[in-house]
Structure 1
Amino acid sequence: MYVLMYEYEVDATRHSEFERVYGSAGDWADLFGKSPGYLGTDLFRRVDETADRYLVVDRWSSEQAFLAFKASFGGPYERFSDQTRGLYRTEVRLGALETGHF
Structure 2
Amino acid sequence: MHIILWEFVVPADARERFQQAYGPDGDWAQLFRRAKGYLGTELLHSDTAPEVFLTIDRWETASHFESFQRNFGREYRELDQKLEGISTSERKIGVFSAVDPI
Task: Give me the identity figure in percent.
Answer: 31
Could you tell me how far 1:86 is from its partner in structure 2?
A: 1.5
Please show how residues 1-102 of structure 1 align to structure 2 within 5 Å: 1-48=1-48, 50-99=49-98
* Displaced runs of 4 or more, over 4 A: none
Q: Distance in 2 between matches of 1:52 and 1:71?
A: 32
Q: Distance in 1 between matches of 2:66 and 2:92?
A: 16
Instruction: Provide the secondary structure at the position in 2 that maps to 1:30.
Output: helix
Could you tell me how far 1:81 is from its partner in structure 2?
A: 0.6
Could you tell me how far 1:99 is from its partner in structure 2?
A: 2.2
Could you tell me how far 1:100 is from its partner in structure 2?
A: 5.0
Q: Please tell me the residue identity of whatever aligns with 2:64.
A: A
Q: Distance in 1 between matches of 2:14 and 2:99?
A: 37
- Compute the TM-score of the two structures, normalised by the length of structure 2: 0.95
Q: How many residues align?
A: 101
Q: Alpha carbon RMSD of aligned pairs, Å?
A: 1.4
Q: Please tell me the residue identity of whatever aligns with 2:56.
A: V
Q: Please tell me the residue identity of whatever aligns with 1:66.
A: F
